[in-house]
Amino acid sequence: VLLLIIAIALGVSLSRRGNEFKNTFMQRCEKFEGYNCTEIWDAFQKAYVDRDQCDVPPEAYDSLIEAAPLETSCNRMMFWSKTKDVAQDLAAKGDCFLTVERTLLGSVLDGLTWCGKRGSDETLTTGCPEWNECVKNPVRSFWNRVSAAFGDAACGDVTAMLNASIPTPFDPKSIFASIEVKRFKSSKVKKLDIVLVTEMNSVTNCTNKSLQDLQNMLDKGIIYSCLEVQKSQIQKCSSDPNKSCGSCW
């Protein structure tokens, strides 16, 4: 009897967590006007429910992307790598920049963990694979897929924030290098502005070898620029309502 009670309690608490996840999803989704969040939730779930936790490829999210196409905004799109905090803080300031985490899908799933399991229609939020545990895990595949869509949507002057406190700011294994940059098309993207975020302990600058690789990887015709900007300057700009978008650096 005791075991049965424990089993029921565990079951109830796990399904509550699943509900909590759906509530968070729906609440975040409903902040965006003009979307059918129930339809988006259904498309989302189809990607990973009743599937092996390490066998969810990025394509599993194709119908989700179709149900909620990424918002685009030429000249405001911001990419980043190893600079999440500083990039997100700046994107939160007014309407200066649009990061994928501020699009509907990105904002709904930012910071969340989810997976399914074979033979069940549940959404689990614990016991899911870690980012590097297997390549085709539901969370990693989602970010790969949504980032591909964000890269495809890039247009006009595009900005990317990279980190000068690491030896390889343009890391070939990063999502930015391996997925997004490759999708910038010179027919749509005019210019790529790299903002290299520096700190007291910076180890590199715009002459970094990996940035040479970035330039070589760019579709011919896209203009490249690199600017070193202090982290504190960007942070100051993010929190100063009197600073306009164009005057942060």
Binding site for ligand APR (CB under 6 A): 79-82, 84, 100, 131-132, 143, 147, 150, 174-176, 180
Phi, psi (rounded to 5 degrees) for 160 = -135, 130
- Residue 223: how many other CB atoms lie within 10 Å: 12
> What's the Rg (C-alpha) of the chain?
20
Q: Please state the closest distance from residue 161 (CB atom) to ligand APR, in A.
A: 8
31 closest CA partner among 119, 138, 105, 140: 105
Residue placing its CB nearer to ligand APR in the complex, 41 or 176: 176
Nearest-angstrom CA–CA distance, 159 and 97: 9
Residue placing its CB nearer to ligand APR in the complex, 100 or 124: 100
Nearest-angstrom CA–CA distance, 198 and 201: 8
Q: Please state the closest distance from residue 103 (CB atom) to ligand APR, in A.
A: 9
Q: Please state the closest distance from residue 6 (CB atom) to ligand APR, in A.
A: 32
Host H or E run for residue 167: none
Q: Helix (H) and strand (E) counts for the chain?
A: 9, 4
Q: Please state the closest distance from residue 162 (CB atom) to ligand APR, in A.
A: 9
Residue placing its CB nearer to ligand APR in the complex, 97 or 176: 176
Q: Please state the closest distance from residue 248 (CB atom) to ligand APR, in A.
A: 18
Residue placing its CB nearer to ligand APR in the complex, 25 or 150: 150
Residue placing its CB nearer to ligand APR in the complex, 25 or 143: 143
Residue placing its CB nearer to ligand APR in the complex, 131 or 224: 131
Q: Please state the closest distance from residue 83 (CB atom) to ligand APR, in A.
A: 7
Q: Please state the closest distance from residue 171 (CB atom) to ligand APR, in A.
A: 7
Phi, psi (rounded to 5 degrees) for 200 = -55, -40
Nearest-angstrom CA–CA distance, 200 and 191: 29
Largest CA-CA distance found in the chain, in angstroms, rounded: 72
Angle between helices 37-48 and 2-30 (to 10 degrees): 130
Residue placing its CB nearer to ligand APR in the complex, 5 or 92: 92
Nearest-angstrom CA–CA distance, 73 and 191: 14
